[in-house]
Amino acid sequence: MSDLWFDAEWLSLRRRADHQARDTLLNEEANYWLAQRGRANIVDLGAGHGNNAQYLIPWLGQAQHWRLVDHDSKLLAQAEKVLAPMAEEGHHIQSLVCDLNALNLEDIHQQWPIDLVTASALFDLASLSWLEALVEQVVEIQAAALWVLNVNGHWKIEGHKHPLDETIRQAFNAHQRRHKGLGDGSALGPMAVHEAMRLFKSLGYQVQTRTSVWTLLAGSAYTKAMGFRLINGWHQAACDMLPDQSDAFDVWFVDRQTALNQGQIGLEVGHTDLYAEPLAD
C-alpha cells in the first residue's frame, strides 16, 4: 500500500483507537461555531471510508451537510454505506472524488457555503506549499477548521525496552518527511500540525491544539492486531531509511513482535488535534 492509497482494513482497524483518542473539547468548540452560524456545511478532506464523519456527526447537534472528499472512489463508496444510518436520521452526506492537489474550496464555497473544513489522519502527507495554499483557502472563505489525529512523532513502547527503539522511531519520523504526493516537495510528517497552527495564527485565526494519543494496553487482542501493523510499518520505514542496519532492525522486529504477542509490551502513538476559527471582532 503506497502513502497515497490506504487499505480499508487498516482504516477500519484503527477506527476504535482513533475514536477513543480524540479530544472532545475541540468537538464542543466546533459545535458552538456551527450553532452560532445556524448551519452545518462540512467538508471532510481525505475522508477515506468515513471514520471522521462517523465520529463527529453525533457530536454536532444540528442537521449536517457533509461533502466527503477523497481520490479513492472505493473508500468513498464504503463511507456512504457506513454513514447510511446517519443519513437516515436526516444528515445529508455526499461524496466528491477529487485529487486534493486540485481542490478549490472557494469554488465549492460559491455554490455551497462551507462552515467547517475537517480532516483526520491526513496532514502528515502534506507538503508545506500545499498546506499554505489550503490554509489560505480556509481563511479566504472564513470557515473553521477541525484537523485531528495529526501524527506528532511521539511514540513509545511500554514495558520491555529495546536499545533500538529510539533509532527506529527517529528513522520512521525521517521516513515520514519523504514526498507523499500532497503538493510538491517533502511531506511535513510530524511537523504538519505546528505549521498549520503557525499559518492560521499568522492569518488572524485563533487556534487550539490538544493531544490525542492511541493508548494500546499490553496483552489485549486489539493491541496485538494494531501493534502487528505498527511494528511492521516502523520496521519497513527504518530499513528504507537505514538499509545498512537492516539486519539489526530484523532482529528488533522479531523481538518486538514476540514481546507484543506475549503481552509484554503496550504502545502509545501520539497525535495532535487542531481547531481554528476566525478571531471574533
Ligand X SMILES: C[S@@+](CC[C@H](N)C(=O)[O-])C[C@H]1O[C@@H](n2cnc3c(N)ncnc32)[C@H](O)[C@@H]1O
Which residues have a Cβ under 8 Å from the Cβ of 168 and sit 6 or more positions away? 234, 235, 238, 249, 252
Which residues have a Cβ under 8 Å from the Cβ of 197 and sit 6 or more positions away? 207, 209, 274, 276
- Judged by CB under 6 A, does residue 100 bind ligand X? yes
Q: Please identify, using beta-carbon distances, which residue of 31 and 150 lies nearer to ligand X.
A: 150
- Judged by CB under 6 A, does residue 181 bind ligand X? yes
Yes or no: say if 51 and 18 are a contact pair by the CB < 8 Å rule: yes
30, 40, 122, 139: which one binds ligand X (CB under 6 A): 122
Handedness of CA 67, 269, 229, 178 (dihedral sign): positive
- Judged by CB under 6 A, does residue 273 bind ligand X? no
Residue 5: phi and psi, rounded to 5, are -115, 125
- Least CB distance to ligand X at residue 262 (A): 29
Encoded amino acid at 220, one letter: S
7, 99, 166, 250: which one binds ligand X (CB under 6 A): 99
Placement of cell 471514520 in the chain: 51
Among the residue ranges 44-52, 132-140, 234-242, 270-278, the one whose residues contact ligand X (CB under 6 A): 44-52
- Judged by CB under 6 A, does residue 182 bind ligand X? yes
- Least CB distance to ligand X at residue 111 (A): 20
- Least CB distance to ligand X at residue 117 (A): 13
- Judged by CB under 6 A, does residue 129 bind ligand X? no
Between CA 158 and CA 170 the distance in angstroms is 17
Among the residue ranges 81-89, 117-125, 155-163, 204-212, the one whose residues contact ligand X (CB under 6 A): 117-125
Contacts (CB under 6 A) with ligand X, residues 47-76? 47-48, 51-52, 70-72, 75
Placement of cell 510528517 in the chain: 189
Q: How far is CA 247 from CA 102, 174, 235, 242, in A?
A: 42, 19, 11, 10
Yes or no: say if 209 and 274 are a contact pair by the CB < 8 Å rule: yes
Q: Where are the alpha helices (DSSP H) in 125-263?
A: 128-140, 165-176, 192-202, 221-241, 246-261
Q: Please identify, using beta-carbon distances, which residue of 13 and 87 lies nearer to ligand X.
A: 13
Q: Please identify, using beta-carbon distances, which residue of 36 and 211 lies nearer to ligand X.
A: 211
- Least CB distance to ligand X at residue 128 (A): 16
Residues that bind ligand X (CB under 6 A): 4, 6, 11, 46-48, 51-52, 70-72, 75, 99-101, 120-122, 125, 181-182
